[in-house]
């Protein structure tokens, strides 16, 4: 199937020459200026636009801008330019043009430029589709939420899925760090390998080394047979070091060496074993503070923090509570062979009025209990049983029950920016959003006449 090219030039002879030269390999349409070209592009898609820079009635630079801002798809754009306008063409490549070619040019040169641009555009399209599929997969694996923080988290996971860099997942207990780790594993190059988890806080220091690296028969009293450690069991897959902040200081040095050398020696063994493992570490504590207190190695932190990901607490994305509630309700109704229950408005207001110190895990447990105990076929305030946990006042931490979700989001953003003394980078990180997203929202608030902290 031939690819579609739109040739844009105000000189009829040039249009005719290019159409006759390219028609054996491409479907070629022509336009005499940018305005005419844009109309054709809106009527029928093109894979590539080959446009002159200087034209009356709208030149190539204006057309490039219109394509980027006014179309729902992005064809490759190559600009044809005379020597006097090369500087403009070069500048245009920084504004989104795929390439430029100087007049006069030979057909071989033009073929090379066309094929390169089309190939790169196809790769870009395939990568975009792959990333979109990975984002969808992350959501299906449990990373639910329409809040911007969760949207960006899914996009980041899709972006880094096939990398080998160590990931540090930070977030409060119950935010879903293990869910995010599994989504990262399932979305990446190690998805066909095992997913092995070890809780660094649950294993005594005397056993942690053997759990991680394994041991040979006779390595110590009671070692009646050899046993593989988590690093060896996770070969070709992912090793999740849960609650890395609780790892004993002496073990941190040994882990650092393994991460640096990419090999380990089981207890009692003489030879090192290499293991192809993707490392994901999680923590609900501030590792930088632990470094200052001398409880965590700074060099290990830098080794783990190659790709940092932060999961925001549920109270920072309250707009996701209805979605999560209905998701959990559907799952637990199915598990308990009950028909899908109705969520009353009163119950939803009740759920939206809590700060959820236990985050998503706490919400999940509340909904499971309510589904099991409900005899009315619906989830209401009574079956939720949250009256003792609700604040007695009509506001929670400064958030009124009369506020909309947008009001609450705005209040949270401005409060966080105030707490960080106007440090937008720090505020964005603590909110779990990008600096660009924060800047856009602050611009909106400023346009509303609001005072921006800092």
Beta strands 76-81 and 99-102 are parallel
What residue spans in the chain does CATH classification 3.40.50.2300 cover? 3-127
**Beta bridge pairs of residue 42:** none
What's the topology of domain 403-447? Arc Repressor Mutant, subunit A (1.10.10)
Please tell me the predicted confidence (pLDDT) of residue 279: 95
Predicted confidence (pLDDT) at residue 135 exceeds the cutoff of 90:
no
pTM here is 0.59
Least confident stretch, 131-145, 218-232, 238-252, 438-452? 131-145
Least confident stretch, 154-163, 253-262, 420-429, 441-450? 441-450
Q: Which residue has the higher pLDDT, 400 or 1?
A: 1
pLDDT, tens only, 167-220:
999 998 899 999 999 988 988 788 889 999 999 988 888 889 889 998 887 777
Please tell me the predicted confidence (pLDDT) of residue 388: 52
- pLDDT tier at 396, thresholds 50, 70, 90: very low
Predicted confidence (pLDDT) at residue 395 exceeds the cutoff of 70:
no
Q: Are 378 and 340 in contact (CB under 8 A)?
A: no
C-beta contacts of 68-73 below 8 A and 24+ residues apart: 68/95, 68/96, 70/38, 70/42, 71/41, 71/42, 73/45
**Beta bridge pairs of residue 239:** 196, 279
Please tell me the predicted confidence (pLDDT) of residue 307: 94
What residue spans in the chain does CATH classification 3.40.50.300 cover? 160-312
Q: Which of 170, 252, 240 is nearest to 209 (CA)?
A: 252
Least confident stretch, 72-86, 88-102, 321-335, 378-392? 378-392
Q: Which of 309, 41, 376, 54 is nearest to 163 (CA)?
A: 309
- Kindly report the CATH number that applies to the domain delimited by 160-312: 3.40.50.300
Please tell me the predicted confidence (pLDDT) of residue 138: 47
Predicted confidence (pLDDT) at residue 302 exceeds the cutoff of 90:
yes
Q: Which tokens belong to 230?
A: 């988590």
Q: Are 384 and 346 in contact (CB under 8 A)?
A: no
Class of the 315-396 domain? mainly alpha
Mean pLDDT of 353-360: 86
The Cα 159–Cα 188 span in angstroms is: 10
What residue spans in the chain does CATH classification 1.10.10.60 cover? 403-447
Q: What does the DSSP assignment read for 378-439?
A: EE-HHHHT-TTTS-SSSEETTEETT--HHHHHHHHHHHHHHHTTT-HHHHHHHHTS-HHHHH
Predicted confidence (pLDDT) at residue 39 exceeds the cutoff of 60:
yes
Is 111 strand, coil or helix?
helix
**Beta bridge pairs of residue 102:** 81
- Residue 404 CA: distances (Å) to CA of 96, 355, 368: 39, 16, 27
What's the topology of domain 3-127? Rossmann fold (3.40.50)
- Provide the percentage of residues in the chain whose pLDDT is more than 70: 89
- The 10 Å CB-count burial string (b at 16+, else e) for 353-387 is bbebebbbbbbbebbbebbeebeeeebbbbbbebe
């Amino acid at each position: 199937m031939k690819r579609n090219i739109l040739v844009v030039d105000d000189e009829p002879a040039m249009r005719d020459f290019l159409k006759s030269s390219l028609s054996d390999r491409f479907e070629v349409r022509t336009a005499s200026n940018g305005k005419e070209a844009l109309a054709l592009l809106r009527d029928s898609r093109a894979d590539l636009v080959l446009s002159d820079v200087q034209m009356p009635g709208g030149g190539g630079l204006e057309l490039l801008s219109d394509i980027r801002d006014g179309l729902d798809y992005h064809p490759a754009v190559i600009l044809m330019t005379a020597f006097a306008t090369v500087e403009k063409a070069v500048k245009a490549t920084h504004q989104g043009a795929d390439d430029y070619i100087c007049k006069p040019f030979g057909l071989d040169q033009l073929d090379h430029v066309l094929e390169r641009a089309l190939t790169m555009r196809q790769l870009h399209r395939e990568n975009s589709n792959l990333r979109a599929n990975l984002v969808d997969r992350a959501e299906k694996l449990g990373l639910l939420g329409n809040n911007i923080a969760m949207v960006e988290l899914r996009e980041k996971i899709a972006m880094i899925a096939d990398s080998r860099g160590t990931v540090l997942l930070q977030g409060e207990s119950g935010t879903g760090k293990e869910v995010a780790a599994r989504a990262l594993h399932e979305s990446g190059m190690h998805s066909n390998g095992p997913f092995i988890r070890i809780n660094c806080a649950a294993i005594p220091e005397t056993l942690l080394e053997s759990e991680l690296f394994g041991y040979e028969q006779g390595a110590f009293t009671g070692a009646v047979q050899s046993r593989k450690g988590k690093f060896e069991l996770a070969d070709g897959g992912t090793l999740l070091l849960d609650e890395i902040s609780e790892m004993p200081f002496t073990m941190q040095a040994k882990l650092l060496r393994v991460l640096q050398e990419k090999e380990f020696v089981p207890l009692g063994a003489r030879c090192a074993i290499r293991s192809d493992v993707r490392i994901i570490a999680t923590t609900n504590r501030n590792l930088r503070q632990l470094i200052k207190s001398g409880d965590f190695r700074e060099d290990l932190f830098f080794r783990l923090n190659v790709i940092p990901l932060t999961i925001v607490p549920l109270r920072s994305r309250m707009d996701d509570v209805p979605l999560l509630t209905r998701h959990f309700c559907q799952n637990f109704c199915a598990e308990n062979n009950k028909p899908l229950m109705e969520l009353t408005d009163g119950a939803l207001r009740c759920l939206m009025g809590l700060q959820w110190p236990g985050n998503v895990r706490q919400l999940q447990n509340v909904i499971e209990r309510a589904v099991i105990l409900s005899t009315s076929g619906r989830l209401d305030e009574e079956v939720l049983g949250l009256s003792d946990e609700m604040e007695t006042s009509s506001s929670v931490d400064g958030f009124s029950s009369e506020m909309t979700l947008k009001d609450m989001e705005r209040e949270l953003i401005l409060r966080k920016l105030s707490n960080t003394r106007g440090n937008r980078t720090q505020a964005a990180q603590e909110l779990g959003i990008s600096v660009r997203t924060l800047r856009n929202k602050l611009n909106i608030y400023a346009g509303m006449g609001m005072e921006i902290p800092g």
